[in-house]
């Protein structure tokens, strides 16, 4: 069983350090009338790992999260938090403990990646496109056995090159409403995965998570998550 603890300063540094070519001054997206609250969600990106229960500051927040599941955002008081990751139904001896300081008004995604033997947290702040008429994408490398990756347009140019495991790229503006993406071994023309067409609406950004194994099962895949998240119809 693997367990690790990051104090607030280490985790804050980890959020910045996991950002690939992101300017340190880039601020998280703030929602209106946020007060002293923040929004946080959880992505289970650790293959061959049991379903997870996630506690934040001792409160059960995300239950029975299965591999590739991305939770909804949950509003939580800003400030210092402790995230404890447990196997489903086993609220003792956490697999992973993370301590972090949530910035009020920020939208934060925490991905749990690695393997059952060694879970790794990857944190990031989510932002919309720069203006209501533009679109943007970024990519996150969460495949434990993959080399550094190039995220590229299918049969086209590389969008993000040499992205290492656990890295989060900057946001890149794109013109097209629909885009075909493929994963290549960094610096190579060898295609590891062709992803289904990704649709982006005006004012929207998308994060493309590279999940799974290059060699083995579950296989490599891309999970696309648009932001802002549209509320389901009432």
Q: Which structural domains are found in the chain, ordered by start?
A: 8-125 (2.60.40.1120), 135-227 (2.60.40)
Query: Buried b / exposed e across 177-215, counting CB within 10 Å, b at 16+?
Result: eebebbbbebeeeeebbebeebebeeebbbbbbbbbbbe
The pTM of this model reads 0.84
Give the range with max mean pLDDT: 26-40, 65-79, 88-102, 220-234: 65-79
d(CA 10, CA 16): 10
CB contact set of 206 (below 8 Å; sequence gap of 6+):
135, 136, 137, 138, 198, 200, 224, 225, 226, 227
SS3 readout for the chain: CCCCCCCHHHHHHHHHHCEECCCCCCCCCCCCCCCCEEEEEEEECCCCCCCEEEEECCEEEEEEECCCCECCCEEEECEEEEEEEEECCCCCCCCEEEEEEECCCCEEEEEEEEECCEEEEEEEECCCCCCCCCEEEEEEECCCCCCCEEEEECCCCEEEEEECCCCEECCEEECCCEECEEEEECCCCCEEEECCCEECCCCCEEEEEEECECCCCCECEEEEEEECCCCCCC
Cα(144)–Cα(231) distance, integer angstroms: 32
Rounded-to-integer distance, Cα 170 and Cα 125, Å: 11
Residue among 223, 217, 215 at smallest CA distance from 185: 215
120-176 pLDDT per residue, tens: 999 999 999 988 889 999 999 999 999 999 999 998 999 999 999 999 999 999 988
pLDDT of amino acid 20? 34
Higher pLDDT, 4 or 114: 114
Evaluate if residue 231 carries a pLDDT over 80: no
Q: Which two tokens stand for residue 66?
A: 């299965």
Predicted confidence (pLDDT) per residue in 49-95, tens digit:
999 999 999 999 999 999 999 999 999 899 999 999 999 988 788 99
Token pair for 77: 């008081």
CB within 8 Å of 179: residues ≥ 6 apart: 137, 153, 197, 198, 200
Is the pLDDT at 12 greater than 60, yes or no? no
């Amino acid at each position: 069983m693997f367990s690790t603890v990051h104090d607030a300063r280490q985790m804050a540094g980890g959020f910045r350090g996991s950002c690939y070519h992101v300017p340190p001054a880039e601020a998280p997206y703030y929602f209106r009338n946020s007060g002293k609250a923040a929004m946080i969600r959880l992505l289970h990106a650790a293959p061959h790992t049991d379903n997870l229960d996630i506690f934040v500051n001792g409160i059960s927040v995300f239950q029975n999260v299965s591999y590739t599941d991305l939770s909804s955002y949950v509003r939580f008081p800003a400030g210092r938090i402790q995230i404890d990751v447990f196997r489903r139904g086993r609220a003792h001896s956490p697999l992973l403990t993370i301590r972090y300081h949530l910035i009020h008004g920020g939208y934060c995604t925490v991905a749990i990646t690695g393997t059952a033997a060694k879970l790794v947290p990857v944190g990031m702040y989510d932002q919309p496109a720069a203006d209501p008429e533009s679109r943007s994408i970024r990519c996150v490398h969460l495949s434990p056995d993959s080399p550094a990756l190039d995220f590229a347009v299918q049969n086209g140019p590389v969008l993000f090159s040499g992205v290492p495991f656990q890295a989060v790229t900057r946001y890149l503006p794109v013109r097209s409403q629909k885009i075909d993406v493929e994963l290549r071994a960094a610096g190579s023309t060898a295609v590891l995965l062709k992803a289904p067409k990704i649709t982006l609406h005006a004012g929207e950004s998308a994060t493309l998570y590279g999940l799974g194994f290059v060699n083995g099962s579950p296989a490599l895949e891309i999970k696309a998550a648009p932001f802002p998240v549209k509320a389901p119809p009432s």
